[in-house]
Structures are given as C-alpha cells and as structure tokens.
Amino acid sequence: MNTLSTVVVIGGSGFIGSHLCELLLNMECRVYCVDNFATSGAHNVAHIADRPGFTLIEHDINEVLDLPGRVELVVNLASLPSPVDYLARPVETLRVGSLGALNALDFARVKGARCVYASSSEVYGDPSVHPQTESYHGNVNPMGPRCSYDESKRFGEAACEAYRNVYDVDTVVLRIFNTYGRRMRAQDGRLVPTFIQQALADRPITVHGTGRQTRSLCHVDDTVNALLKAAMARHPGPLNIGNPDELTVVAIAELIRELCGSRSPIQHLEARHEDPARRRPDISLARRALGWEPRVNLRTGLVETIAWFADNSSMATTNL
C-alpha cells in the first residue's frame, strides 16, 4: 500500500485516535471516525469535525460495523486502556478486546482492507526479559488485577494471526508502549496526566511503591507516525512501538515537578499489586521494518503536554 484513500479509525475520538484522524486528514484521506465514546468524547475531534472528508460515527464495535463504499485501511484502537477504566469495567474491557476485535477484522475482511491492530506493551505483563523484544511471550497472570486488559490485547493479537492465516486478511499488530501528550484525560490513572495535574495544583505527587520501577514514555506524535508507517508497510508484526529511553517513575515525577515549576512533595503510596517492575521496548524491528524511531525529546514533549493541561483544564478532566 503506497497511498491511502478511505480509512476507518475505530476508537477514533480517543487520545491516540484523534491525533491519527487529524494526521490522515492532513494527508487528504477520507476518514470515518468510529467511536462509542465509552472513554472519550466528541470534544476530542471537535476541531476537525467540519473538515472535508471527515465523518464521525457513534457506534459500538461490539456490534457489526457496516459502511458503504471502498475502504483501504482499518485501524482498531478501541479499548479501555486506562487502569481506572479496565479495573472498574473488566467485562466491557474483555468484550471490546474480543468481540470488538473480531468485528473489526470481519469488517476489514469484507472490505479487503489492511487492518492495523493497536495492541499494548501490557501483553508482556511484568517482564522477566529486559528490554522487551517481540519474540518474548510475556509474563501475564490471567487471574491478576490487570488481566482483563492484558488478556484482551493478547486475544486481539491471536485473532489477527488467525484471520491472516485462515482468511488472508492483511493485518499488522503494533505493541504500543506508554504514550503521552495532549488530549489525555487527567483522571484516567496513568502517571503522566496524574503527575501533571498534581504538580500544577501544588498537591503531593503520588508515587506507588518505591518509584524505582521504570517506564519508557513516547510522545503521541511519534506513536501516530508509527501507526501510519505500519499502515503503509507490508510487515505483519508484532512490532514494538515506544521510546527506548527508560526512566524510573520517581524520576518522571521529579522531572514533571521541575517543568511545572511546582512545590509539590513526592508522596509514596502502597505499591500496586503486580505493577510491572521494568518496561522498555526493543524497537530494533520497527527501525528496520518501518524506518521509524521516536523523535520528540521527552522534556519538549512534556512541556507541550503540561501547557495543554494548563490551557484545557475543563476538557482534560472530562470523563465520559
């Protein structure tokens, strides 16, 4: 696939999806943004709602999707990726990761479209291999507190493999690591928006456990560029998409505090059960197969994200 014409983005009004829709419109693609607004809202795409070629469709991907005309690409971003959401709504998380994934693949099969599946670094669980390579099968507890999200993504990957082998659907699996940036919800439980909101309000920045656990943060612009490159390539994946620069959680908290000019103290809370101790992608395969690597410097990206939260406090706290 060298060019894209009509693209269906499932979960398109979400954090990552809204950025992808915008990028595709800038490429003069016809974009169908499909979302049930379970963890997002139309406000995320309000700035592109009137642009030529954009259509917002309220639809639950757990129901069969049917759209007229030719479609070249389907991107499935539908999920409940926030700990706040998947811990409170595990059945819904499992349903969209299984039935929703199958419906997206069936739609791509009918249309003869390439299907990009947004999996997650959570398929690695609390990894015993570091950094994580795509050949590592992970360390996931199917009965653990994070299992609904972890297993839903593992199911989605298996579904892509089955549809590729049985029905010859052109699929690619991307394992997306921690992504941050503008349009994240402040209250979704992930560390960057949590720390920013706390630092901007000069409240204690809450770090679970010792804070020595590590994360690797990738700016949303880099993530959506990887999605686009994967759509245009022929590689089936899985491909790690993330930033290999690794920081401790407490170091991230201190950096955000500094960039906010905040007086917030670091407050240590009880460690979360089965919280991954280390998380860092090996992106050698993405570099070779896609010619992709992250470009946005962490400090630059965080400054931009902090400014967005400061300027859009009412939008950031929307929890739909």
131-157 pLDDT tens trace: 999 999 999 999 988 899 999 999 999
Q: With a cut of 50, say whether residue 319 has pLDDT above it.
A: no
What confidence tens digit (pLDDT) does each residue in 27-41 have?
Answer: 999 999 999 999 898
Give the pLDDT band (50/70/90) at residue 318: very low
pLDDT tens by residue, 183-241: 998 888 899 999 999 999 999 999 999 999 999 999 999 999 999 999 999 999 999 99
Which structural domains are found in the chain, ordered by start? 6-181+218-244+278-295 (3.40.50.720)
Kind and range of the H or E run holding 199: helix 191-200
Gap between the Cα atoms of 103 and 260, Å rounded: 43
Mean pLDDT on 32-59 = 95
**Cβ neighbours of residue 226 closer than 8 Å, sequence gap 6 or more:** 174, 239, 241, 286, 290, 292
Average pLDDT, the chain: 94
Which pLDDT tens digit goes with each residue over 235-255? 999 999 999 999 999 999 999
Place of tokens 């989605």: 156
pTM, entire model: 0.94
CA distance 308 to 129: 36
Residues 293-311 pLDDT 10s: 999 999 999 999 999 999 9
Q: Please spell the DSSP secondary structure of 139-190, one letter per residue.
A: B--TTSTTHHHHHHHHHHHHHHHHHHHHH---EEEEEE--EE-TT--TTS--
Mean pLDDT of the 119-134 span: 94
Phi, psi angles (nearest 5°) of residue 304: -65, -45
3-state helix, strand, coil in the chain (%, to 5): 40, 20, 40
CB 18 within 8 A of CB 42: no
Q: Which residues are marked as active site? A: 149
